[in-house]
């Protein structure tokens, strides 16, 4: 039980080793962990940084969060983290991490903007401890779903795309009569029944 509790509290950024080592002592503004190898907050973030409302009241950044701030690929690409390793992915490579999730704890991030510090909001709630009930970071959102459910949604979306419906209209949930002709009423009704949430949007993006 104790191990379980300890594991549950590992912040996202601590799942991978950091190549950096500072000298500042204190509590990290991002993950709230104590560090003696931290960096000053002001020198860690750029002038364009706007996510101060997500931070704890501290002026210290631990080496792990510093790595996430300094490595642009955490903002400019999709990624998956497991077993002490961060893998930067193309959008098309993300689905395999949902089809066959790695050994927990792990995390998966998908970006559409290629510029947000989405990892900050994933710090605690964005780490997966299950292979069946999954959370994925999607820019600054978190999307939860049962794995098999998401794969079914993805399959429906892929079928609609294969039949000639544009992703743009799938996103906007406004199919034309011509789209309906292409996909048939059954698929249309199936899509309508699952297109309410962010999981659907994520599936359209990844399809």
Which residues of this chain interact with Zn ion, rule CB under 5 A? 28, 30-31, 62, 65
Instruction: Between 28 and 110, name the residue whose CB sits nearer to Zn ion.
Output: 28
Shortest distance, CB of residue 52 to Zn ion, whole angstroms? Answer: 15
Shortest distance, CB of residue 58 to Zn ion, whole angstroms? Answer: 9
Are 74 and 42 within 8 A, CB to CB? no
Shortest distance, CB of residue 28 to Zn ion, whole angstroms? Answer: 3
Tell me the C-alpha to C-alpha distance, in Å, between residue 111 and each of 115, 138, 157, 170. 8, 6, 19, 18
Strand 34-40 and strand 24-27: the pairing is: antiparallel
149/145 Cα distance (integer angstroms) = 7
Instruction: Between 62 and 143, name the residue whose CB sits nearer to Zn ion.
Output: 62
Strand partners, 138: 110, 141
70/51 Cα distance (integer angstroms) = 15
Instruction: Between 69 and 156, name the residue whose CB sits nearer to Zn ion.
Output: 69
Shortest distance, CB of residue 3 to Zn ion, whole angstroms? Answer: 22
Instruction: Between 27 and 147, name the residue whose CB sits nearer to Zn ion.
Output: 27
């Amino acid at each position: 039980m104790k191990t379980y509790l300890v594991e549950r509290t590992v912040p996202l950024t601590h799942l991978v080793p950091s190549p950096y080592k500072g000298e500042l002592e204190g509590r990290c503004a991002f993950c709230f962990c104590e560090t003696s190898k931290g960096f000053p907050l002001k020198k860690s973030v750029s002038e364009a940084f706007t996510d101060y409302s997500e931070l704890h009241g501290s002026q210290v950044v631990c080496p792990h969060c510093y790595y996430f701030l300094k490595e642009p690929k955490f903002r400019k690409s999709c990624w998956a983290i497991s077993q002490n390793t961060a893998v930067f992915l193309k959008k098309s490579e993300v689905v395999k991490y949902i089809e066959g999730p790695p050994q927990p704890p792990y995390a998966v991030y998908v970006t559409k903007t290629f510029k947000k510090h989405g990892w900050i909001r994933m710090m605690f709630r964005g780490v997966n401890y299950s292979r069946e009930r999954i959370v994925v970071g999607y820019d600054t959102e978190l999307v939860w779903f049962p794995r098999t459910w998401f794969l079914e949604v993805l399959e429906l979306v892929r079928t609609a795309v294969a039949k000639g419906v544009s992703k743009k209209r799938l996103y906007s949930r406004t199919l034309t009569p011509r789209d309906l002709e292409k996909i048939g009423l059954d698929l249309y009704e199936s899509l309508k029944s699952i297109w309410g949430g962010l999981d659907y949007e994520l599936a359209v993006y990844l399809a």
